Structure 1
Amino acid sequence: MICCLNPDCPNPLNPNGKKFCQSCSTPLVSLLRNRFRVIRVLSDEGGFGRTYLSEDVDKLNERCVIKQLAPKFQGTWSQKKAMELFAEEAQRLQDLGEHPQIPTLLAYFEQDGCLYLVQQYINGENLLKELQQRKTYNPREIQAILLDLLPILKFIHDRQIIHRDIKPENIIRHKSDGRLSLIDFGSSKQFTARVQNKSGTSIGSHGYSPLEQIRDGKAFPASDLFGLGATCFHLLTGNSPFQLWMESGYAWVSNWRQYLRSPLNPELDFVMDKLLKKDIQERYQSADEVLRDLTPKQLLALPPAGKSSGKIPPTKASYLPKSYPLLRILILVSALILLFGFSESWYKYFRRIQTSLSSRLIQHHSPGQNDAVLSQSLKISFDKVSLANTLQGHENSVLSVAISPDGKTIASSGDDRKIKLWNLATGKLISSLNTYAQQVNTVVISPDGKILVSGGDDNNIKIWNLATGKQIRTLVGHSDSIHALAISLDSQTLVSGSDDNTIKIWDLATGEQIRTLTGHTFWVRSVAMNEDGAILASGSFDKTIKIWNLVKGYSIRTLEGNSQTVTTVAISPDGKTLASGSRDRTIKLWNLATGREIRTLTGHSNTVTTVAFSADGKILASGSRDRTIKLWNPATGEEIVTLAGHTNTVTSVTFSPDNKTLVSASEDNTIKIWRLSE
C-alpha cells in the first residue's frame, strides 16, 4: 500500500502501483527523500500535518515515525509559529537523542512544500492508552513510573531544556522491556533567563501544565515536575486533570487526595503533594529533589546515555585481598626449584603444587585482566560458529524459544498470538497452536519432555501435551500478563512470574496453585530454579533480584546491585552461579549461596534482554536490544564470540542439551539456529 501525504485526504491508503491518490487525486510519493516509505497515518495534527508510521529502507526497513508540517494558511502568524516550533523540535531531538529514553532524530528536510521530521519509532503504547486498558495504577507502580521518568527530566533539565508538555500521551512504554520513553518535544523550550522572565504564548496542556505556564507563558524545571505530578495523579485516580480543569480550573490541585480510592503511603503522599503545589515556590525545583525523597537510601544515577557515543560502562575493578599468602607460597616453591635444579621428580612435584595453588588462588580472585595468565585451562574458543538455519513463520516478533530435552523440537511463541513447534534438525514447521486471543510471551518445556507450558497477555497459563499439541488445562490466578515460567527438574513444580508483581507456584500434574510469593514492587519478568527445585531466583522491573526458598515459600535475600530494571535471570547447572541481565547493558554473575556479586560483564550496547547457560555450564549466552548475541566464559568473564545476524532485538536464547546448538528468537520475526563446534 502507498500512503497519500495530503494531510486532508480522507482515505490516504492506496494500492501499490498507483500514481495518484484514489481519494483526493494528489500525486503519490513512494519514497520520501528516496529513503522513507510511509505506511499509514498515526495521528492528525489538526490541519498542520500528520504523523505517519514509516520504514527506513536504508536501515533494512526499520520502523520510524515521520512528522509532517503542512500548514494550510501560508504566510500567517500561525504558520510562522508552527514552523518555528517544528524546527526547534528537530533541534531538541538532535541535542537530546543520545539518551536511550528519548527518540533519536533520523532526518529533517523539506519536500514538496512540506517540512518532515523523522525520528526513532518507539514500539509500545502511551500511558493514556495503557490507562484506558487497565483503568488505574497502584501506588507501587506510580513510584516505579516516577523513578523511571525523573532521570529523563534531570537529563533534559541539565541541558537547560524544559519539555513543557508532560502528560500520559507523551510517555510511551516500550513493549519489549517496559522502560518509559518521553516523546513530543514540539513544545520544549531552551531554559534561559529570557524564558524565565518574559511572558509569552501559553504552550502546554491545560490541567497538566501549571498555572505559571498556562497563564504567563513562563516555564521552569518545576513546571515539568508539576506535569509529572498531574500525570501520576491521572494514572493513580483515573481522573483527567484536563476534565477537572474544565470544571473548576486548578481548584482540584488543593484537594487532590479526595479523588484517591485509598490513602497513599506517607512517602508517596508527600512527594505527590509537593509535585502538585500551585505555587511554584512551594513545589519541587529539580528532579534530584524528588529522587532524594523517593529513594533516600539508594544511590541515584542516570541510565547510560551513550546511544550515539557507544560508551560502555567499565567492568568493575577486580577484587584482590590485601595479602597474598598463596601467591607467596607459589613464588617460594618456584625459588626452591631454581635453587636446587630442575630434576624430573622436582619438576613433577612443582607442577602438582602449582596447579593446586593456582586453582585455589583463582577461587579467591575475581577475574580481571590477568585471568588469561592465571586460568589458561579455562579458556574456551570455537573453531567455527555457523548460522545453520533461519526459521520464518511467525507474522510478528518472536518472544520466546525452548528446546525439548531430546534436542529434537523447538517451541516458539510471539505477539502473533501463536505457538509453533519446529523440527530442530530440518527447520520444518511441525504444528501451530493458535488458541490464544493475545500475544504469547513465554514458553517452556518440562524436563521429562511431555509438557509444554505457555503464558501470555491474557493473564492465563496454558498446559499442553507436547506430543499431540492438545491443550490439557488452563491455570487461572494471575491478574496481569505472564512473562516468566520455570519447571523443576522432576517436572512436578511450575513457577510463574507476572506483571501483577507476584510469583505463583503450581503443581504441574494437577494444576493446583500451591502458593503465591509477594515482595517485588514491579513486574516480575524472569524466574529460574536450581536443579533440586529448592531455590528460586526472580528478576523484576523494581531493579532487584530476589532469592527464595521455594519449599517453604519465603525470601532468603534481595540482590540490589542493578542500577536499572532486571530483565532476565538464569542459574548455572551446578546451582552455584546466578546470571542476570539488565537495562543498564550489563550482565552480572552472582554467588547464589552468598548473594555476593562475582563480576560484571560488559560489551552490549543496549539492554540485555535474555541470558542462558549451556547444559554443561561452560558457556553463557546473552541477547540484547543491540541485535547481537554474545557468548561468554562464565568462569573468567571472557567474551568468546559475538553473533550478528538478527536485524532487531534478540528476545530469547537457549542451548540444546548436547551444547552443540544455540537457538535465538528476535523481534525481526525470525528464529535462528547456530551450530557451535570447539
Structure 2
Amino acid sequence: MIYCLNPSCEKPLNSDTTFCQNCGTQLIPQLRNRYRIIQPLGGGGFGRTFLAEDEDKLNEHCVVKQLAPQVQGTTALLKATELFQEEARRLQQLGEHPHIPTLYAYFRHDNYLYLVQQFILGQTLRQELRQQGTFSEEKIWKLLSELLPILKFIHEHQVIHRDIKPENIIRRSLREDLVLIDFGVAKQLTATSLEQTGTTIGSFGYAPIEQMKYGSAYPASDLFSLGVTCFNLLTGIHPSGLYMEQGYSWVMHWRQHLKSPLSPQLVQVLDKLLQKDIEHRYQSADEVLQDLPQKPQPASIPRDFSLPQPPSRINLRQLVFPSTVLQPRIQLKHKLLGASVILLLGLSVYAHWQSLGHIPTLTGHLNEVNSLAFNPSGKTLASGSDDKTIKLWNRNNRQQIRTFKGHSDKVYTVAINPDGQTLVSGSLDNTIKVWNLNTGKEILTLKGHTALVHSVAISPNGQNIVSGSYDNTIKVWNLSTGQQIRTLKAHSGEVLSIAISPHGDKIVSASGDQTIKVWNFNTGKEIRTLNKHLADVNALAISPDGQLLVSASDDKTVNVWNLNTGNHIRTLTGHSADVNAVAFSPDGEKIATGSDDSTVRIWNLSTGQEVHTFKGHTREVFAVAFSPDGKTLVSGSKDKTIKIWQLP
C-alpha cells in the first residue's frame, strides 16, 4: 500500500499504483528512495506527522514530519517554514543523545519540506497520568533524577526547551526511561539573541512569567516548567485552570491542592522550582540535582558553551523579546492595540485550505445531526440524528461501520461508556436505550421520563447513567440493570444538558429556566444554582481536571465558572446566534463551540480569546466533540453532515 502525501486527499491509502485513486496525485513509494510512509501519527493545520520505515536501516521505524500545504505568499506559512527549519537545526545542534530524538534528515520534495527523526515507542506522561492516575512521591523523585540530566545537557548546548510538560515527555516502552520530545519551540540562547526582538510563546500554566510576559527564557525557565509538570502529575490538576483564575499567584499555594502529604524534602525542592520570580528559583539543573536525596551522577558532558545568567531583578525598561523558535502547533503572540492576541498559525493556514472546500465530511444521516461522541480510543465516532438512528463511524477511513435502529423518534443525545463497550442514547420517544457498541444490538430500554430525553451522561466508573429531560427532571440509573436510582427535581424548565465531574462526585444540569444547577452525585442534594445567562442554557462541559465548568446559551454567550466554588470567571462573546454545543479539549486549555450562526469556534480559556472560526456548515451546528488525542474536532449540523477539522 502507498500513502498519498497530498494534504487535501480525503482517502490517501492506495494500492501499489502510480497515481492516487482519490485525488489523482502522483504517488511516491519512498521519499528520497528511502523512507516509506506507513500511516499518519497526527498533526493538523500545516504540519503532519507520519510513521515511516527507513529502507537503509533494515526498515527501522522513523518519524517523518511534513510541512503542508505550501501556500506561497502567506505570512503564516513563511513563518511556519522558518520555524520548521529551526526545529531541524535544534535537533542537529543537540546531536545524538539517548533521551532526545535524533535528526536523520531534512529535505524538500515536490515543494513540501520534510524532517525525519527517530521514532520513540512509548506513551507520554499525560497518557500515563490518565491511565494510571496521579504519581507517587517516589515516581516524582525518579522523574526528576531522569529529566534533570537531560535538561543539563540541552542547557549546556545553549538550548532552552521552553515547553516542558507531560505531553512532551515519553516513557519508552521497552526500557521505561524518559525521552524529551518536541523541540519545535526550543530557543537558542546567545548574547546576540538577547538583543533581538521576538515572540513570546509557551503553554499557559506551565511557562514562567519571564517567558510568557517578557519573551525571555533561561535554564531557570525550563526548571519552572519542570516544577509545574511535577505538580500536575502529583495532583492531576491542569495548571492552566489555576493560571486563568489566579495568574501566577497559584504557585504560592500549590500545596493546598495535594491529595496526600509529601516529604519536607520534596516540598522544599518543588517550592524552589515553582518560584514566580526567576531570581528565587534554581538557576541550573545541577543545583536541583544537588538537592535530590540520592544524587544521580549524570554522564559527563563537555561544556561547549557558556549560558548567560538571568538578571538579578527584572527591569521592565530594559526587557527585550529574544528571537524565538516555534513549531506550527504553538501559539504565536502578537501585540495588537495594546492587547496580546493569540494566534494559532496552524489554524490560520488550515482556514485557507478549508476555505477552498477541502473539509472532510461524513454523510449518511437523512436529517440533522444532534449529538456526537468518540469512543475512548478515538478510533470510532457515534452520531445521533433526527432520522431516528445512531451511526458509528471509523475515524481513520471515515467510513460508516454500522447503524443502530430501535428508537421510534428523533435521537437527541449519545454517550459512550469509558470501557468502550456500550453506547447510551436518548430520544424524543421519552426513552433511553443501551446498546452493545461492538455488535449494534440493543441491551436495555430505560423508561421513566414523561417527555423527550435531551441529554445523557455516563459516570466515570461506567456504572451509572444520568439523564435530563423536557419533563424538568434529572434521573440517575444503574447502567447494568436499568434500575432507576433517584430523580432530581428543582428546575422549573426543561433540562437541556447534563455533565458529570471527572471524579464522579458532582452532577451539573442546564435548563430552559436559564439556570445551571450543581448536585451531589451520591445524595442527589442540590449544592448551588448558577445564574448568569439571559436565555436557555443549552450545553455544558467540565474540564478534564474537574476545576472549570463552561456553559453555552441562547443568549449567544459562553460562560466560564469555577465548578468547585461556583464563582463566575468570564463570559466569552463572538457568536452571532444561539450557542448550542460546547466541548473541552483533552488538555483542558481550549474549548470548542457550535452555534446557530453555522460556525464552529475555538477559544483559548486562559485568555478568553477566540482563536479561530471554522466555516463550512450551511446550517445550525448542534454538536461538537474533540478526539481523545486532541488532534481532531468534529461537528454535527442541521445540514445533515458531520465535519472533521484537523487541529495543530
TM-score, normalised via structure 2 length: 0.45
In terms of Rg, which structure is larger?
Answer: 1
Structure with more relative contact order (C-alpha pairs < 8 Å, separation 6 or more): 2
Q: TM-score, normalized by length of structure 1? A: 0.43
